[in-house]
Amino acid sequence: MSIKRFMKWYYIVPLAIVAAPVMIALFVLLGGGVVMLLWNWLLPPLFDLPRITLLQGFGLLMLCRILFGGFGGGGGGGHHKRRCKSPQDREQFRDRMRERFDGRTADAEAKAPAD
């Protein structure tokens, strides 16, 4: 058997149809289970809150995902590329920061007599 035979769509599609629900169920069990165990271990003894079930743990995980972003992979704002700035742009930025925080500019520093 060659590897090309397994790459044909009629092998991949049924595998995806079977694997997708299995992966979703595994994610619900693992993600919800971890949240459930942590909740039931910490919060009922500390704050006298009720214990939660596996599905409630998964719901709490999803709620946190919606509110705070996450699961890695660039969630919660994403990654922004830094723009390469010219030396003049960097110097202008430094001047603005000095002006903002020190109340002086690079021109004023240059004109000031050296001690």
Tens of pLDDT, residue by residue over 35-89, are 999 999 999 999 999 999 999 999 999 999 889 887 665 544 544 555 667 888 8
List the structure tokens of 54.
Answer: 């596996």
Does the pLDDT at position 106 exceed 60? no
Whether 42 and 35 have beta carbons less than 8 Å apart is answered as no
Percent of the chain whose pLDDT exceeds 70: 69
Between 100 and 106, name the one with better pLDDT: 100
Mean pLDDT (whole number) for 4-28: 82
CA distance 39 to 45: 10
DSSP string computed for 67-92: HH--SSSSTTT---PPPP--HHHHHH
pLDDT value of residue 73: 58
All residues at 6 or more sequence positions from 18 whose CB lies less than 8 Å from its CB, including other chains: none
Give CA separation, 107 vs 8, 79, 88, in Å.
Answer: 69, 36, 14
Phi and psi torsions of 15, nearest 5°: -65, -40
